Amino acid sequence: MNDREKRQSIIDACLRMNALGINQGTSGNISLRHEAGLLITPTSIPYEAMQPEQIVYMGLDGSFDPAQRPSSEWRFHLDILRARPDVNAVVHAHPTYCTILAIMGLEIPPIHYMVACAGGDTIRCAPYATFGTQELSAHAVKALDGRLACLLEHHGMIAVGPSLAKAMWLAVEVETLARQYHGCLQIGKPPLLPTEEIENVRTRMAGYGHAEK
Ligand code: 13P
């Protein structure tokens, strides 16, 4: 993908987040590794009106064209991409069920084998810090350690991946798991899969389907 195609793919993913119902308004933001830095959504521009040239290029030192304004969450996008060479795309949104659990300070335990898709036997919930702060970024990077998704207390969710398509897929899957967990909690305390089974599933998943080589 060239520069413009990458910018358009970010806008398309933003529009899809809202069409899928995993985000509201402009509360989400997306970044994609690009050249020696990253491309990130601008702050507070409705996705329907967003133009490829409004996507902000940011260096890995956090520098950007002062005529542009990156997402207020650029710190965690930058810090995740700096800390994780395995990650090329970061998707942040406020999906309703993820946010319900995050408000309650709950992580997603191994209720279903698909929890393994996020890289471990839980989907952690990062402690609260004000949006856009370095403190929130530090909490997010820690909650994502060895994982591909986390919740953010009183805030929302982050999903990451080796490609934007995979990070988007995971964002939808995590919201599905959050919805399932929320449903279980209406009935009682759900039984959980053992950690060893999640590890077993992770091994099987590595060889599942038509995985890219
Ligand atoms: P933007 O600054 O990307 O518009 O995001 C707002 C927000 O929801 C921060 O979490």
pLDDT one-digit tens code per residue, 131-146: 999 999 999 999 999 9
Task: Return the pLDDT at 208.
Answer: 78
* Number of neighbours of residue 45 by Cβ within 10 angstroms: 17
Cβ of 133 closer than 6 Å to ligand 1, yes or no, is: no
Tens digits of residue pLDDT in 159-169: 999 999 999 99
Contact 30, 42 (CB under 8 A): no
Task: Return the pLDDT at 9.
Answer: 98
Cα–ligand 1 centroid distance for 30 (angstroms): 10
- Check pLDDT > 80 for residue 100: yes
Residue nearest to atom 6 of ligand 1 (CA): 27
For 62-69, what is the mean pLDDT?
A: 98
Residue 25 vs residues 15, 75, 96, 139, 144: alpha-carbon distances, Å: 10, 21, 13, 25, 25
For 16-42, what is the mean pLDDT?
A: 96
Nearest ligand 1 atom, CA 42: 3
Q: Break the chain into its structural domains and give their ranges.
A: 3-212
Cβ of 43 closer than 6 Å to ligand 1, yes or no, is: yes
Distance, in Å, from the CA atom of 207 to the CA atom of 78, rounded to the nearest integer, reads 31
- Check pLDDT > 90 for residue 90: yes
Q: Is 199 a catalytic residue?
A: no
Contact 90, 81 (CB under 8 A): yes
User: Strand, helix or coil at 122?
Assistant: coil
- Check pLDDT > 90 for residue 207: no
Cα–ligand 1 centroid distance for 81 (angstroms): 18
- Which of these, 154, 106, 90, 98, lies nearest to 128 by C-alpha position? 154
- Which of these, 132, 148, 146, 144, lies nearest to 73 by C-alpha position? 132
Domain 3-212: what homologous superfamily?
Answer: Class II aldolase/adducin N-terminal domain (3.40.225.10)
Task: Return the pLDDT at 1.
Answer: 85
- Check pLDDT > 70 for residue 97: yes
- For ligand 1, mutation pick of 23, 29, 64, 69 (most atoms within 8 Å of CB): 29
Cα–ligand 1 centroid distance for 26 (angstroms): 7
Distance, in Å, from the CA atom of 119 to the CA atom of 161, rounded to the nearest integer, reads 11
Cα–ligand 1 centroid distance for 82 (angstroms): 20
Cβ of 23 closer than 6 Å to ligand 1, yes or no, is: no
- Check pLDDT > 50 for residue 10: yes
Contact 23, 46 (CB under 8 A): no
- Which of these, 62, 75, 44, lies nearest to 139 by C-alpha position? 75
Share of the chain above pLDDT 70, in %: 98
- Check pLDDT > 90 for residue 210: no
Task: Return the pLDDT at 213.
Answer: 41
Residues across the chain? 213
Which is the catalytic residue, given 48, 53, 73, 212?
A: 73
Q: What is the dihedral of CA 48, 51, 52, 54, to 10 degrees?
A: -120
Cβ of 131 closer than 6 Å to ligand 1, yes or no, is: yes
Quote the mean pLDDT of the chain.
Answer: 96
For 16-33, what is the mean pLDDT?
A: 95
